[in-house]
Each structure stands twice: as C-alpha cells, then as structure tokens.
Structure 1
C-alpha cells in the first residue's frame, strides 16, 4: 500500500513538473510512458537491478553529451517503439523533466520530432557496450552516480 501511495505521489509530482509544456502533452507523454516504457523500467523509472537500467536520476547525465543524446533515441525500446517521432520526443522530454530534473544539464534542449526522425534508427545492436562507453566518459568527467552495469 505504501509503495502504491509513493508511486501515485510521484506521478502527481511528475505531471506538475512537466508544466514546461502543455498539460495535454504531459498526459499524453505519461500515457506513452505507461504503455511503452514502464513495463520494463518500472513505474518510478528505477529499472530492474541486473536486467533493466534505471532511468531515474541518470538519463539526464547522458543527454549532456551529443553521443548520449543520440544513445537515448537509439536504444531498441525507443527506436523500435510504435510511438511516432513526436510522441517519442514528448515521452523522452517528460522522463527528463519528471525523473531527471536534478541531472538534466543546464540549458537542456528538448527533443523534437525532427531530431528523433533524423537519429532514431537504426536501433543500437549492442546497447550494453554503447552504454558502458558513455558511462566511462561520465566517470572521466567526475560523474560517478551512474553505474556501468545495470
């Protein structure tokens, strides 16, 4: 019961944090998250240790690097999802606004449908290796809060 209350509270805070855009965009983004991402990454974005990486408080670090920004668009779950380019951009921006407000880089540029269309495919084939390379770069820059392995 307590976990359900925490998840509900997090969802309410998340929708409030997305006030950067239209309320309809936030609702649509959350729905996209629930239908396309939450099943693996869990309701609060914490992932499944040893199987699925956490997005909460880590994804923001990746988008601070051009290669990391592209990585986020090209992971198979994003690249191959049924979401349109505009909806994927909306979901990614929602995740970054609601689950990564403290890790998102200063001056963050929201994803656009055009950017997603240009970089989404092909999907990465060795996600773990690509992610490990990005984590090593983050560590070299002094960011040690993102684990190399999930």
Structure 2
C-alpha cells in the first residue's frame, strides 16, 4: 500500500529507499499538500505541475520561502529546507517550472525565512502573487 502511495515520488527508486528529502517532504508537508503534491479542493494549494509558475517572478520565489508553512516549518536546517523546496519546485512542479530556474540555496532559505510573510489575509496575498506569476509565465 505504501509503495503505491509514494511510487510517483520515487522516480524509479525502490520504495524501501526513500531519500531524506522525500521522507522529510512526506513527514512535514505531505499531510496538507498531499504525498504527490495534490491537495484537492481545499484551502491548501496544489503543488503538482503548478508550483513552478511562482518562480517566474522574484516576488513568487520569495513567497515560496516566506509563506508560513515554510518560514515557520519544523524543518529548521536551511540546507535540508532548500533541498525540500527544490524537490517541490522541480519534481512536483514538473512542467510548470520554467527552464533555467535556479535551485534554492541554504543561504537564500536562511535569508528569506528571516522575513516571514505576515498577513491577516493570506488567500488575497496568495491570489495576487499567483496572478502576477501567471502573467509573467504567459509572456515567456
């Protein structure tokens, strides 16, 4: 059963050999965002083949690291968080991540998490960031 659930995340790897990045995603992010990045019709955004669009703008890239689920995550190791975010961006983001997108670094994660997003209306902020990223992606 577990192998069937995590199979799409393995990219040809054995279900018994989940690496630290995928295991961390499953433990810390998968409960809300889904094990395959598909959260369904909820308040939590779907990641699969969508999340990469945010990397089209500097604002979107910053948003990815300052949103509460990342900036206040229990994943306190910046290098590991960078690896998890790269998994999200490149593996789960798939075709939505533009060619040439640079990977997150531990330094970038550390800097951005020092300035967490603070808003009383996260859905409105998210909608604005998404709209601008989509407009940018459509002009590429």
Alignment TM class, shorter chain as reference: 0.7 to 0.9
Conservation of the 8 A alpha-carbon contact between 1:59 and 1:100? yes
Relative distance call for 1:140 and 1:121 in structure 2 (3 A) is: same
CA RMSD of superposed structures (Å): 2.5
Relative distance call for 1:15 and 1:62 in structure 2 (3 A) is: farther
Matched, 1:29 2:21: yes
How far apart, in 2, do the equivalents of 1:41 and 1:67 lie?
Answer: 21
- When the two structures are superposed, what TM-score results if normalisation uses the length of structure 1? 0.77
Q: Secondary structure at the match of 1:125?
A: coil
**Structure 1 residues without counterparts, runs of 5 or longer:** 17-23, 144-150
Cα deviation, 1:98-135, whole Å, max 9, x if unaligned, reads: 11121111111100000111111332233322211122
What is the CA-CA distance between 1:14 and the residue it aligns to? 7.5
Equivalent pairs, count? 133
Match of 2:123 among 121, 128, 137: 128
In the alignment, which residue of structure 2 is the partner of 1:11? 9
How far apart, in 2, do the equivalents of 1:93 and 1:86 lie?
Answer: 11
How far apart, in 1, do the equivalents of 2:85 and 2:12 lie?
Answer: 13
Match of 1:38 among 30, 40, 50: 30
- When the two structures are superposed, what TM-score results if normalisation uses the length of structure 2? 0.82
In the alignment, which residue of structure 2 is the partner of 1:119? 112
